[in-house]
Amino acid sequence: MDYKVYTPSDALSKQVRYYWSLESGDDVQAPESHRIFPDGCIELIFHYSGLFRTYDEINNAQTQPLSFVHGQLTSFIEVESTGVIGIFSVRFNPAGLKPFTDTPVQDFTDISVDVREIWGEDGTLLEKEMLGAANNEERVVIIESFLLKKLEAVSFDNSDVEYCVDAMLKSEGTVSIDKLADELEIGKRQLERKFIAAVGLSPKMLARIIRFQNTLQLIEKKEFTNFTNVAYDGGFYDQAHFIKDFKEFTGLNPKQYFSENLEMVKHFTFE
């Protein structure tokens, strides 16, 4: 697999974490199943080669569109390649999609939405240009132009939510919404409503995902001596709390995690 990351322009860096691409080369690949975990980010994905299938909890399959936004995840999903892999994706920061659409972001949570449903004729043209591009460097230019135009067209004050997200990331998911509401001099419920509309998750859920991703990184780097220590280092109250969230987000207990083939998930962790 050839995985590459592309840096957004300064004008989009507040909304876009980065762009990434994944290619398997010209050889047809045998179908491979991968488990993707919640990471607090929303993805805008373009399949310029083979498509992927997704599977629900009872193993029903659905083929993904050529281009779509996948909203926030609150649990894992299973995806399976159908041949040659060619993906280009925009990874938005947790509150990064909202400035480009008038639709409340919570409407996208846990589902895939075709770009045509979000941006109409503009989405149709975007898909045509992105899928017809000669290479991923050209795709970066196309998507940057599209996003900059949308950023000018959509009027939305996202500053309060961005402040909260930044504070949650810096505290690794431990700062309270009450503290943030006090700092912003806004009512807690009003702040929660703005947060859900812009992020697609409640502040509590995003904090849980940030803590989970933090512990996932510790596990990947093997920076712990036992699961009790990694739970505390990750910001959890105790080991039981850690294992509960880990199972909810991955469908696995921590020991099972090491025995699974989870190569694909490394491209979807919150970095």
User: How does DSSP assign 122-174, residue by residue?
Assistant: HHHHHHHHHHH-SSHHHHHHHHHHHHHHHHHH-----HHHHHHHHHHHHTTS-
pLDDT at 196: 97
Residues 190 and 262 in one domain: no
The letter for the amino acid at 191 is L
Residues 96 and 197 in one domain: no
Domain of 148: which CATH number? Answer: 2.60.120
pLDDT at 169: 94
Residues 164 and 147 in one domain: no
Give the integer Cα–Cα distance in Å for 33 and 52. 9
Residues 129 and 216 in one domain: no
What residues form DSSP beta bridges with 16?
92
Q: How many domains does the chain have?
A: 3
Residues 29 and 144 in one domain: yes
Residues 70 and 181 in one domain: no
3 state DSSP class of 256: helix
Give the integer Cα–Cα distance in Å for 203 and 78. 25
pLDDT at 82: 81
Q: What are phi and psi of 173, to 5 degrees?
A: 80, 15
The pLDDT tens digits for 159-175 are 999 999 999 999 999 99
Residues 20 and 72 in one domain: yes
For residue 226, the enclosing domain spans 208-267
Reading the block at residue 261, the tokens are: 């083939």
What residues form DSSP beta bridges with 87?
22, 47
User: For residue 79, how far is the Cα from the chain centroid?
Assistant: 14
Residues 192 and 227 in one domain: no
Give the integer Cα–Cα distance in Å for 143 and 226. 44
pLDDT at 86: 92
pLDDT beneath 50: ranges in the chain: 261-262, 264-271
Residues 118 and 88 in one domain: yes
pLDDT at 267: 44
Give the integer Cα–Cα distance in Å for 150 and 101. 8
Give the integer Cα–Cα distance in Å for 176 and 173. 8
CA-closest candidate to residue 146, choices 101, 102, 210, 87:
101
pLDDT at 227: 66
Side-chain half-sphere exposure of 232, counting CA atoms within 13 A: 5
pLDDT at 223: 60
